[in-house]
Amino acid sequence: MMARPAILTGRLGSETLVRLGVLLFALVFLSLGLLFPLAAMLIKSVQDRSGDFVGLANFVRYFQTPALAGSIVNSLVVALSSTVIVVGLAFLCAYGITRTCMPGKRLFRMLAILPILAPSLLPAISLVYLFGNQGWFREALMGQSIYGPIGIVMGMCFWIFPHALMILTTALSTSDARLYEAAETLGTAKWRSFLTIILPGIRYGLISCTFVVFTLAITDFGVPKIIGGQFHVLATDVYRQVVGQQNFQMGAVVSVILLLPALASFAVDRWVQRRQVAQLSSRAVPWQPTPNPLRDWVFTLICYTVGAVILTVIGTAIYASLVQFWPYNLSLTLRHYAFEGLAGGGWAAWLNSVKLGFSVAVVGTLVIFVNAWLVEKSDGYRPLRQGLHLLAMLPMAVPGMVLGLAYIFFFNQAGNPLNWLYGTLAILVLNTLVHFYTVCHLTSITALKQLDSEFEAVGASLKVPFWTTLRRVTLPVSLPAVLDVSVYLFVNAMTTVSAVVFLYTSDTRLASVAVMHLDEAGYFASAAAMAVLIFFTSLGVKLVHATLSHLLLTRAQRWRQAG
Amino acid sequence: MTTLTAPLPRRAAAVGQAADTETDIHLGICGLTKRFGHFTALHEIDLTIREGEFVCFLGPSGCGKTTLLRAIAGLSPQSSGSIVQRGQDISHLPPQARDFGIVFQSYALFPNLTVFDNIAYGLRNQRDDRQAMRKRVDELLALVDLTGSESKYPAALSGGQQQRVALARALATEPALLLLDEPLSALDARVRVHLRGQIKALQARLGVTTIMVTHDQEEALTMADRIVVMNHGVIEQVGTPAEIYRQPASAFVAEFIGSMNFLTVFPEDGDVLRLGSHLLDCPRHDVAGCERARLAIRPEAVELCDAEQGLRARVEHVEFLGAFQRISLTLEECGQTLVADINAREADVLMPGQTLGVRLPPQALRLFADPGARA
């Protein structure tokens, strides 16, 4: 090999250097935001209170304490039940959307997305109002208490449902019409073509969906925190150990245990995704359903029942936040929205959440999109780019509670030069960004993959530096995906509780955490009011996003319609 | 015994002779190898391209022609070997530092920029004043016959128009070398034929050295000054279209370009080849060491005559193809089949089952060693 002096000189050299610099920065960023904190947490789990190495003693103690180890079974029971119910329901609804001629599909899809806009605390609060000791439908539980596994499963199902529906709708709508036509001409019975074509066609989507739902259910903190009562799960144990008992070592142990199912399901999901690629055919013809009154009405009924439940849950929270004193004085008032003198931080917390949301949306979108571009569209430094992709995929496997606790261990260490971050809004931004990194990364990668692979080559052949092509072509063309990413980050920053619950200070209280504190302090109506406030903020941003996207696609980016 | 009166030409050297003077050479490629893991996509490629020449890389998909083009552009650098452009070693320069313009199969037009902005993309960077830029773009638009389309977006253009915009964009910065990666394969047949002529005329007018990758032999034959036929990562032959067609250097080239009859023959003692029980005299052939060899002749070179005057053959099938008829024949002596393209007027009396004579004019014959049977 000859020496390569030309690369290191002049503007061309600087272009290569900039690329390498940004790549290294991205790697350092994700190492600091993800790898080092996780390592700090793993170390903490094998230390005693004074910081000496004790091997697996903490783990042994954990499993010898029935009150703690029992949570594993509790978590599994709750997560598995939720998974079965959510995947089943979501499959029926996704089938209704994609494979029948039921009326009002768009309306239903809009309804179905609503739970994502609320923190997972909201359904829990509503369920307490509906089925709690003062609830309207208390009798429907036939003597069982809503505080416990029943309430948790119901709450989980509510807010995980949109995630499952989106995955399954995508899986069901990408099947190939030609297969069904072939089956029909061969006189195949309907149930047989369901078993032999539909199920195999969506099996990867179904597996992927199952694992996503399971992970969300086993790692969720909000629902069991509000409605779990004395029924403890892993996520609430982490909180109890750390915040309640200041036992950081045991918190680390529970976190490691909570990390395992999430890591396992992450591994399975990656494996599934890799196999699915080979299945897709670009020549597939989309399938169009033909009317069938009986089937269409059955699915309409199912979907709109689900829609009605969603509206009821959200409506209950809104109503509860507006009445004087449930259930004795049902006259309407706005006083619960004053939050004066109550726990949680009130409107200041809401403002902090909005600030956090916008910061994460702006910073996160920029960082994630540039990193995705580095992975997908730049060349050279292959091992570094693969490493970056791997780091970008990892956050999906790390539950929010685990990430939050890991941040305490890492950033609160004496002697860490980044210690100043602790207690600032910046650490909340970093944490939230890393927490929700993976989905945004995948969205950006997918968008970039759809672009012509030669844009960069053309730019280089015309002696245009890569950042100009990125700014003038790649970014504008990917703008819809970029907007999707930013609104996703905003909504999640507004609604998340799990990671940030360890990281806020009195100056950086957040609305979602305030909901939890108001509920803990017994101000149920104000808790509902704050949850509703978060919901409407997210909804507002989502609507602005929809309008903006629409305007963008029809006006500013006229070129999209030129064809 | 049939005697071939003229000697069969020996195999030409696979690589064109580099008789060019130093100054005449635009691009010199030497020992270029490209490996992807264990797969060798290009193996020790040597090639020189003259100033102002239109060269086609022709070969089946997977033969390495696009890989070679991308190595020349610096888009996928070679594993070893060197590339010299106008005396400067560019082997390790990034694409930005090399002097070329490129048109991809997909055109890669920027969808969010107008035709004007697409063409001016490389000009803006040179900090030309706007007046000069405007003038240059107008020139280029006129050159590719698209005056008046400057404010349109690519999606509003037809495939052929998009292709021309891509060409104008590549030429805007006046590169010394133009690279075309299957530029016509995404277009429908009629547009393709039209654009073929346009691109060739444009290239001749500008005198820009051009390399075009294609898998379409007709495209290569009509457009190229020289064709580089590639297969399995090596160059099979370099030559003018006529040389490639008339004197294919290997059985692969013979088979890949146009259609070709192959007859299995057996080298006997001396300069004699045996075809069935016929002995063909063939002085100075170079397949003496082989157990078997393949005698190649184009269908249009096969001559028909009375059964007594040539090799006896039976007509199996007559196919009408407009200007000519394609006759499938079986040689009675050895049972081998042969196709002859005969001018339509001469052939209307032919019927399947008929017996006639076949003459193989020696000047149209090529002889290749049978690859599987080298002793």
What is the helix (H) or strand (E) element at residue A107, kind and residue range? helix A105-113
For A111-120, A378-387, B5-14, which range has the lowest pLDDT when averaged over its residues? Answer: B5-14
Average pLDDT over residues B256-279: 84
Is-contact A353 A494, C-beta < 8 A?
Answer: yes
A455 touches chain B (CB under 8 A): yes
Is residue A18 domain-resident? Answer: no
The CA distance from A461 to the nearest CA of chain B, in Å, is: 6
Residue B23 banded pLDDT, cuts 50, 70, 90? low
CA-closest candidate to residue B154, choices B183, B127, B186, B118: B118
Minimal-distance CA residue of chain A relative to B90: A6
Q: Who wins on pLDDT, B356 or A490?
A: A490
Enclosing domain of residue A495: 341-558
Most confident of A6-10, A153-157, A376-380: A153-157
Q: Least CB-CB distance to B112: which of A458, A463, A557?
A: A557
Residues A349 and A214 in one domain: no
- The whole-angstrom separation of Cα A129 and Cα A323 is 12
Does position A555 have pLDDT exceeding 80, yes or no? no
Whether A132 has a pLDDT exceeding 60, the answer reads yes
Q: Are residues A397 and A524 in the same domain?
A: yes
Strand partners of residue B239: B227
Question: For the segment A298-311, what is each residue's pLDDT rounded down to a tens digit?
Answer: 999 999 999 999 99
Same structural domain, A273 and A398: no
pLDDT at B7: 42
What CA–CA distance (Å, rounded) separates A147 from A124? 10
Position A133 scores a pLDDT of: 84
- What is the Cα–Cα distance from B251 to A262, expressed in whole angstroms? 60
Indicate if A177 and A86 belong to the same structural domain: yes
Mean predicted lDDT score pLDDT of chain A: 88
Which chain B residues are closer than 8 Å to A561 by Cβ? 155
State the number of CA atoms in the 13 A half-sphere of B124 facing the CB.
13
Suggest the residue from A462, A464, A467 to mutate for an interface test with chain B (most B CBs closer than 10 A). Answer: A462
The closest of A361, A301, A327 to A130, measured between CA atoms, is A327
Residues A307 and A358 in one domain: no
A132 & A173 share domain: yes
Domain assignment of residue A206, yes or no? yes
What pLDDT does residue B78 have?
Answer: 93
Q: Is the pLDDT of residue A432 over 50?
A: yes
Q: Which of A154-163, A364-373, A408-417 has the lowest mean pLDDT?
A: A408-417
Spatial distance between the Cα atoms of B245 and A493, rounded to a whole number of angstroms: 68
What percent of chain A shows pLDDT beyond 70?
A: 95
Same-domain check for residues A355 and A268: no
The arithmetic mean of pLDDT across residues A80-106, rounded, is 93
User: Minimal Cα–Cα distance from B197 to chain A, Å?
Assistant: 24
User: What is the average pLDDT across A243-264?
Assistant: 90
Alpha helices, DSSP H, located in chain B: 65-73, 115-119, 121-124, 130-143, 159-171, 189-206, 217-223, 241-246, 251-256, 344-347
Q: CB-based contact (8 Å) between B142 and chain A?
A: no
In percent, the amount of chain B with pLDDT more than 70 equals: 88
* Per-residue model confidence (pLDDT) at position B125: 62
* Average of per-residue pLDDT across B296-316: 88
CB B350 within 8 A of CB B327: yes
Whether residue B315 has pLDDT greater than 60: yes
Phi/psi-derived region of residue A102, left when phi > 0, alpha when psi is between -120 and 50, beta in every other case = beta
Nearest-Cα residue of chain A relative to residue B92: A4
Which residue, chain included where needed, has tokens 């609604």? A495
Q: What is the mean pLDDT of chain B?
A: 86
Residues A353 and A307 in one domain: no
Rg over CA atoms, chain A? 25
- Cβ proximity of A557 and A479 under 8 Å: yes
Task: Calculate mean pLDDT across residues A424-430.
Answer: 94
Partner-chain residue, chosen from B91, B95, B111, that has the shortest CB–CB distance to A559: B111
Q: Tell me, what's the pLDDT at B265? A: 87
Residue B253 has pLDDT above 80, yes or no: yes
Inspect the interface and report whether the beta carbons of B170 and A6 lie closer than 8 Å. Answer: no
Is A544 contained in some domain?
A: yes
SS (H, E, C) B228-240: EEEECCEEEEEEC
Q: How confident is the model over A36-67, as pLDDT tens digits?
A: 999 999 999 999 888 888 888 999 999 998 88
pLDDT higher than 50, residue B1: no
The C-alpha atoms of residue B164 and residue A160 are separated, in whole angstroms, by 51
Average pLDDT over residues A308-323: 95
Nearest to B265, CA basis, from B313, B336, B314? B336
Domain-located, residue A166:
yes
Ramachandran class of A380: left when φ > 0, alpha when ψ lies in -120 to 50, beta otherwise: left
Same domain, A298 and A388: no
Residue A238 placed within a domain: no
What is the model's pLDDT at position B372? 61
The confidence score (pLDDT) of residue B153 equals 92
Distance from CA of B269 to the nearest CA of A (A): 51
The confidence band for A82, taking pLDDT boundaries of 50, 70 and 90, is very high
**Using the beta-carbon criterion (under 8 Å), do B173 and A563 form an inter-chain contact?**
no
Statement: residue B210 has pLDDT above 50: yes
pLDDT at B306: 84
What residues of chain A lie within 8 A of the CB of B169, using their CB? Answer: 458, 462
First to last CA, chain B: 26
pLDDT in tens, A3-24: 334 443 444 567 888 999 999 9
Above 70 in pLDDT, residue A563?
A: no
Question: Which CATH number is A176's domain given?
Answer: 1.10.3720.10
pLDDT-based confidence at residue A197 (cuts at 50, 70, 90) = confident
Buried b (16+ CB within 10 A) or exposed e, A451-479: bbebbbbbbbbbbbbbeebbebbbebbbb
Residues facing B278 on adjacent strands: B275
Cα dihedral A176, A180, A182, A188 in deg (nearest 10):
150
Helix (H, G, I), strand (E, B) or coil at B74: coil
Flag whether pLDDT at B83 surpasses 90: yes
* Structural domains of chain A, count: 2
pLDDT digits (tens, 9 = 90+) for A176-189: 777 777 888 888 88
What are B316-362's pLDDT values in tens digits? 988 888 888 899 999 988 889 999 998 877 656 788 888 988 888 88
Categorize the per-residue pLDDT at B16 as very low, low, confident or very high, splitting at 50, 70 and 90.
very low
Give the range among A11-15, A279-283, A290-294, B195-199 with minimum mean pLDDT. Answer: A279-283
Residue B34 in tokens: 């490209």
Q: Is B363 on the interface with A (CB under 8 A)?
A: no
The answer to whether position A350 is within a domain reads yes
Asked if the C-beta of B121 comes within 8 angstroms of chain A's C-beta atoms, the answer is yes
Candidates B92, B110, B121; nearest CB to A6:
B92
Q: Which residue, A513, A393, A382, is CA-closest to A444?
A: A393
The reported pTM is 0.85
Query: Do A294 and A362 share a domain, yes or no?
Result: no
Query: Å from B344 to nearest chain A CA?
Result: 42
Q: In whole angstroms, what is the distance from residue A29 CA to residue A22 CA?
A: 10
Average pLDDT, integer, range A431-435? 96
Q: Are the beta carbons of B110 and A465 separated by less than 8 Å?
A: no
- CA separation for the pair A152, B334 (Å, rounded): 86
B112 touches chain A (CB under 8 A): yes
- Judged against a pLDDT cut of 90, whether residue B119 lies above it is answered with yes
Higher pLDDT, A2 or A524: A524
Does residue B30 belong to the interface with chain A, where contact is any CB pair within 8 Å?
A: no
Higher local confidence (pLDDT), A343 or A336: A336
Lowest mean pLDDT segment, chosen from A83-97, A246-260, B342-356: B342-356
Å from B138 to nearest chain A CA?
A: 18
| A268 and A382 both lie in a single domain | no
pLDDT category, A1, cuts 50, 70, 90? very low
* pLDDT band of B283, cuts 50, 70, 90: low
B73, B108, B152 ranked by CB distance to A452: nearest: B108
Kindly state whether residue A41 falls inside one of the protein's structural domains.
no
Rounded average pLDDT over B201-213 = 94
CA distances from A4 to A284, A384, B91, B183 (A): 47, 20, 9, 32
Contact status of A13 with chain B (Cβ, < 8 Å): no
Interfacial B residues in 162-181 facing A (CB < 8 Å): 169-170, 172-173, 175
Element (H, E) at A210: helix A199-219
Q: What is the C-alpha separation between B100 and B122, in angstroms, rounded?
A: 12
Are A267 and A392 contained in the same domain? no
- Residue B276 makes CB contacts below 8 A (sequence gap 6+) with B331, B333, B334, B335, B336
Question: What is the rounded CA–CA span in Å between residue B199 and residue B197?
Answer: 6
**Which chain B residues touch A476 with a CB distance below 8 Å?**
112
Residue A4 located in a structural domain:
no
